[in-house]
Chains A and B, each alone.
Chain A
Amino acid sequence: MFTVFIDQFWQLTVSGIALGFIYVLIALGYTMVYGVLRMINFANSEIFMWGTFGAIVASRDLFGYNQTSEPAHGAKLALVLFVQLFASMAFAGLTAVTVEFVAYRRLRAKGTNRLATLISAIGMSMVLSEVMRLLTASRPVGSPRILEKVILVEVWGAQIRLDTLITIVAAGAIFIILERFVKLSRMGKAIRAVSMNEDAAKLMGINLNRVITTTFLVGGLATGAAGFFYVTVYEYTKFNIGFTMGLAAFTAAVIGGIGNIRGAFFGGVALGLAEVYASAILGTQWKSVTIFIVLVLVLLFKPSGLFGEAVTQTRA
């Protein structure tokens, strides 16, 4: 049972961290919105899915790649990857802002009815995934190999591949940029002000709609970046991939403490590792069960996640 785990421990760890970094970025999408609106953005999984298509559209339609194309090298490689990343983020960011505008804004103006918002979000995610299903005729879409997956080094039996390295470094960098943005920029401060006290923030002259749109945009950009890495690593997407990835990322956000940006980071990495370890030890079929049991245990001892919600509202 544990032979694979022991035998391949470092390889599993590397894979888990790489997967975890993708979760981190999607979790950021959930956590940003939750921090400000105290609401699960159920459509975030589909925003991610649209992000993956951004990368595909960029490579296919802008650079003319198809399934039989050769991988790119040097400056061209950097250019293609950069444009793909940009396209993924743009697709997802736009989708996120649209979701906010169509599914949430009106309800928010009417006051707080969390469940109506949740159902509206669920409806919106159905719309998003169905539109993509019709556009792709329900078929999986492959991405050509743009980045050659060279094994760079092998340490303790763990292969560090180029795509793994790029994912960890770039996703980490994007995370840090967004985290700094929320911490330091004027807009970021406004976002945090709203998340602490909406009414007070309004009184301070903060334009609530602009802040919320920005929050969705930032969350969408992070989620979109995750879409790019997903396509680069797995070279595949389909209209229904959002659900599984979204659920895992959301779980990660909750484990870390939803609404807490650092929590999203640790939650995401922890989930990536837990998933890979559990698959190796118990069999891949039990990975979700393991994750949910971990989740329940975490919540029983830390009812608002490992790092807690950014703002504790509990007052009695």
Chain B
Amino acid sequence: MKNFNLRDFGAGIWERSNRYQRIAIVLLVITLAALLPFAGASFLATPVAAYDAVLVYPVAIFVLMSLGLNIVVGKSGMLDLGYVAFFAIGAYTNGLLSMHTGLNTWEIMPIGIGAAMFAGVLLGIPTLRLRGDYLAIVTLGFGEIIRIVALNVSWTNGPNGISGIQMPPPILGKEFALDDQKLFFWVVLVMILLTIWMIRRLTVRRPGRAWEAIRQDEDAAELMGVPTLKYKIWSFTLGAAIGGAAGVLYAAKNLFISPEMFTLNVSILILACVVFGGIGNIWGVILGGAILGYLPDRIRFISDARLLVFGLVLVVVMNFRPDGLLPRKKREKALIKKGANA
């Protein structure tokens, strides 16, 4: 096996499997993921921070956000450096509504998603005409604006943040508990699965083609009849929706939010997850989110040099694997079908 790489290996297995085998693979993967919180005693254990809590945030929520950002950056090629804005909008929607109304997390969820999508459209219409780095700086600015507004207006409690956010109501009779976050992890896992389902649905059909065409050559795409602005706004808005959902979950998990949680660093970190894992490829992005969410807590024993090591890992991995750990598809279907290994 000369050119072995994990992505093609996995894709190969998938291509060669029949319908039943595929269902079995999917179930197996989901089961393994669902069992993750029980692996706390293994080598996966995190020093200081509680393993099951780390699995919820950062790991699972990073994965969710990376999937959302990947629609924007990976699928349609728009560099968004302000993704944290939607995360913050979701979180603050939860915070404010649970402070002023009796709504619970699941009732707030659609409102939070809606608010984030609305913000996405509002920002997208004027700015998505911009290209490349100009879009990057404008989105970055948007992220900062949201944070600064939250910091400086009184109805968000300013720098004090919002505390006392309600925990979600029990699901199927099972209570959410602070000292055991397995249930929360499973909830986020379900959100991740829903997101994957959505992305897969969209990418094999018209929206996916439109995004792919926009990413590769926006002018050519528009001249081939793709309403580029419309699909860019859709992409941006879907990304925003997922960011908003992650925000609602984060606030419900954290019970306390404040503006300092929503700095530019979050946007950059999520972007790093996407690129690190393999931009454009769902599995790569999941891997990136999981590793970069997990690593800083795993290496807490080198406490002081933790971020230094993190930065070095980014530089090294990007230099040796510029397309990420699991890069987007490069090989052709026909070859995989034949099982050829060129």
Contacts and interface: CB of A to CB of B under 8 A. Distances in A.
Contact between A and B in the complex (any CB pair below 8 Å):
yes
Interface of A: 34, 40, 102-103, 106-107, 110, 113, 115-120, 122-127, 130-131, 134, 247, 250-251, 254, 258, 285-286, 288-289, 291-293, 295-296, 299-300, 303-304, 316
Contacts of B137: 250-251, 254, 295
A133 to B, nearest CB: 8
21 contacts: A40-B136, A113-B323, A118-B271, A119-B271, A122-B272, A122-B311, A126-B314, A127-B308, A130-B307, A130-B308, A130-B311, A134-B305, A250-B137, A285-B152, A288-B141, A289-B144, A292-B144, A292-B145, A299-B134, A300-B127, A303-B131
Contact of B141 (A102, A115, A285, A292): A292
Nearest to B82: A292
Contact of B138 (A102, A124, A285, A299): A299
Contacts of B279: 115
B191 interface: no
B73 A292 contact: no
A62 B151 CA distance: 43
A118 B268 CA distance: 10
Interface string B100-118: 0000000000000000000
Contacts of B149: 289
B308 A131 contact: yes
A295 B137 CA distance: 9
B322 interface: yes
Interface residues of B, number: 45
B305 A130 contact: yes
Contact of A116 (B126, B131, B275, B312): B275
Given A119-B276, A285-B152, A304-B134, A127 B312 contact: yes
A137 B223 CA distance: 57
Contacts of B308: 126-127, 130-131, 134
A295 B138 contact: yes
Given A123-B312, A291-B141, 4 more contacts: A251-B141, A286-B148, A292-B141, A303-B129
B18 interface: no
Nearest to A40: B133
Contacts of B324: 116
Given A130-B305, A254-B137, A258-B133, A124 B148 contact: no
Interface string B313-333: 111001100111000000000
A126 B268 CA distance: 11
Interface in B76-110: 79
A8 to B, nearest CB: 23
Query: Which has the most chain B C-beta neighbours within 10 Å: A119, A251, A258?
Result: A119
A106 B317 CA distance: 12
Contacts of B148: 285-286, 288-289
A123 B318 CA distance: 9
Contact of B314 (A113, A119, A247): A119
B145 A124 contact: no
Contacts of A293: 145
Query: Which has the most chain B C-beta neighbours within 10 Å: A34, A102, A120?
Result: A120
A279 to B, nearest CB: 13
Contacts of B134: 254, 299, 303-304
Query: Which has the most chain B C-beta neighbours within 10 Å: A40, A106, A122, A124?
Result: A122
Query: Which has the most chain A C-beta neighbours within 10 Å: B140, B271, B314?
Result: B314
A296 B136 contact: no
Contacts of B126: 296, 300
Contacts of B305: 130, 134
A103 B145 contact: no
Contact of A119 (B131, B142, B275, B307): B275
A117 B223 CA distance: 30
Contacts of A250: 137
